[in-house]
Structure formats: C-alpha cells, structure tokens
Amino acid sequence: MRERLRNVVVASAILASLVIAIVALQPERTLAEDPVTEPRLISVNGEATISVKPDMVTISFGVETNGATAKEAQQANTTQMNNVIAALKAAGIRSEDIQTSNFSLYPVYSWEEQKTGGSKQVLTGYRCNNTVTARVKSVSTTGTIIDAAVNAGATNIGGITFGLQDAEPTKNEALAMAVASARSKAEVMAKAAGVTITGIYKISNGYATVSGRAEMDSYALKDAATPIESGTVTVTATVRIDFTF
C-alpha cells in the first residue's frame, strides 16, 4: 500500500514538472507584438446654405384686456379674442391652423402714498392676456390678415416666422451639399500634405435648420395697411466627416 502511494506521488511530481517545462517553453507575448494601429484621419466640417422663397408664415396674435374684477377682464378678453379668431377664419385660415399659445389672468397692483407716510400696494384691477398662433399658408395674404386681426381687436402681434410647409427636400439637398463641401476641403488638405484620401472613417453631426424671422412694431399697425415682404428663408446644413488617408 505504501509502495503504491509513493508511486502516485512520484508520478504527480513528474507530471507537474512537465507542465512547468512546457509553459516555460512558450514564447512570452507582449503588447508590442499586437500594436493597435491608429487610423490616419483628416477631419473637416462641411457647410452649405440654400435660400428659397417661403410658402408659409407663422404669426402670433394677442389680446390684452383690463377690468375691475378678474371676471370682467376675462369676459372682455374672450369677446375680443373671439372677434380676432373669427377675422382670421374669414381671411382664409383654417381652424386647425389656429392654436392658443398663451393665456394668463392676474391682478394688477400700484403703489399709493399713505397719509401717515410710506406707501403700500393697492389692488387696481385685473389683466387678461390671450395669444393665438396662426399658420398662414398663402404668404401673399400676410399683410391683409394682420390688418384684419388688428381691426378685429388684436392688441399685439408677435414675431413673424417665414418657413416651408415641407422642408425635408431642401434640407436633404443642403446636407448633400455639405457632404460635398467636406470632401472638397479634405481633398485640398490631403493634396497639400502629399497624401491621398482613401475613404470615410466616420460621419457625424449632420443636421439642417430653416430660419426666416421678421420682427415688427405691433403698435404701428393701425395707422396704415401693413406691408409684408417675405424675402427668402435660409436652409443651413452642417456635417463633420473624418476621412482616412
């Protein structure tokens, strides 16, 4: 029995020695054998701008009323705003293109001097504001619609924003132009550096925006017919591309 146990121990020791020897013979691997190759890149931003005639305009029409009580201010505002909305619809704007964008009703205070000295806040009434935003899909009628709203009781007109009913085709065109601009820049830089563009590593930050805003003095509208020039809206696209060389 002891002889058998001794043979087992000896065999185990021999086997362990062989394993150690085999491991020792394996070549040592280092990070230097598997280097991570960094791509050679030329990174550029491409931009493009397209100016087009707008085919829609968004306008905000507001009514402000005052009253001795909250109910009086609110009722006066309701009557006046209903007149404005009716005028907008009569001018050709559909109900689905008119949306309330703001409503507020709040007390109004003033400071009064006291006989005993000093001053205190005194409630003088209530003020109600209501604003609707309308989408006008016939740009040439913008001035006429503004006049109609003011004549119906609108007390302030918000900024006019010209736009496109379907901006996607123009946005896509601008993005394609931005990509072409980026490639042109990269090729100029590569030529100057004595290298050749071989491909695209990454495209990012590709987006396009539409801008076309006009500001106006709402308090000057009642004096004469309102001239509105639509001009053009600007579609701007930007993209970042990393080119390999």
Q: Which amino acid is at 51?
A: S
Is residue 16, in this structure, part of any structural domain at all?
A: no
Q: Where would I find the H helices in 26-158?
A: 70-90, 142-152
Q: What is d(CA 160, CA 19) in angstroms, rounded to the nearest whole number?
A: 83
Is residue 191, in this structure, part of any structural domain at all?
A: yes
Is residue 181, in this structure, part of any structural domain at all?
A: yes
More confident residue, 146 or 22: 146
Q: What is d(CA 122, CA 108) in angstroms, rounded to the nearest whole number?
A: 9
Q: Find the mean pLDDT for residues 141-149.
A: 93
Q: Find the mean pLDDT for residues 36-41.
A: 86
Is residue 183, in this structure, part of any structural domain at all?
A: yes
Is residue 60, in this structure, part of any structural domain at all?
A: yes
Q: Which domain holds residue 136?
A: 56-111+122-163
Do residue 197 and residue 243 come from a single domain?
Answer: yes
Q: Find the mean pLDDT for residues 82-110.
A: 96
* CATH code for position 204: 3.30.110.170
Do residue 90 and residue 129 come from a single domain?
Answer: yes
Task: Give 157-192 as a DSSP string.
Answer: E--EEEE-SS-HHHHHHHHHHHHHHHHHHHHHHHHH
By residue count, the chain amounts to 245
Is residue 236, in this structure, part of any structural domain at all?
A: yes
Do residue 105 and residue 174 come from a single domain?
Answer: no
Residues sharing a CB contact under 8 Å with residue 69, sequence separation 6 or more, in sequence order? 125, 126
| Nearest-5° Cα angle at 173, 169 to 178 | 145
* Res. 212: pLDDT tops 90: no
Do residue 146 and residue 184 come from a single domain?
Answer: no
Task: From 134, 163, 192, give the residue that closes a domain.
Answer: 163
Question: At 225, is the secondary structure helix, strand, or coil?
Answer: coil
* Res. 242: pLDDT tops 90: yes
Do residue 207 and residue 245 come from a single domain?
Answer: yes
Q: What is the pLDDT of residue 35?
A: 58
Do residue 132 and residue 195 come from a single domain?
Answer: no
Is residue 133, in this structure, part of any structural domain at all?
A: yes
Q: What is the pLDDT of residue 29?
A: 47
* Res. 20: pLDDT tops 70: no
Question: At 94, is the secondary structure helix, strand, or coil?
Answer: coil
Mean pLDDT of the chain: 84
Q: What is the pLDDT of residues 66-81, one digit of tens each?
A: 999 999 999 999 999 9
* CATH code for position 132: 3.30.70.2970
Q: What is the pLDDT of residue 213?
A: 67
Do residue 61 and residue 94 come from a single domain?
Answer: yes
Q: What is the pLDDT of residue 117?
A: 75
Residues sharing a CB contact under 8 Å with residue 44, sequence separation 6 or more, in sequence order? 182, 185, 186, 189, 240, 241, 243
More confident residue, 34 or 195: 195
Do residue 44 and residue 130 come from a single domain?
Answer: no
Q: What is the pLDDT of residue 171?
A: 95
In terms of Cα–Cα distance, which of 197, 195, 202 is closest to 184? 197
Q: Find the mean pLDDT for residues 56-61.
A: 95
Q: Give the range among 77-81, 104-108, 118-122, 182-186 with minimum mean pLDDT.
A: 118-122
Do residue 91 and residue 130 come from a single domain?
Answer: yes
Q: Where would I find the H helices in the chain?
A: 2-25, 70-90, 142-152, 168-193
Q: Is the whole model's pTM more than 0.85, yes or no?
A: no
Q: What is the pLDDT of residues 168-196, one digit of tens each?
A: 999 999 999 999 999 999 999 999 999 99
Count of structural domains, the chain = 2
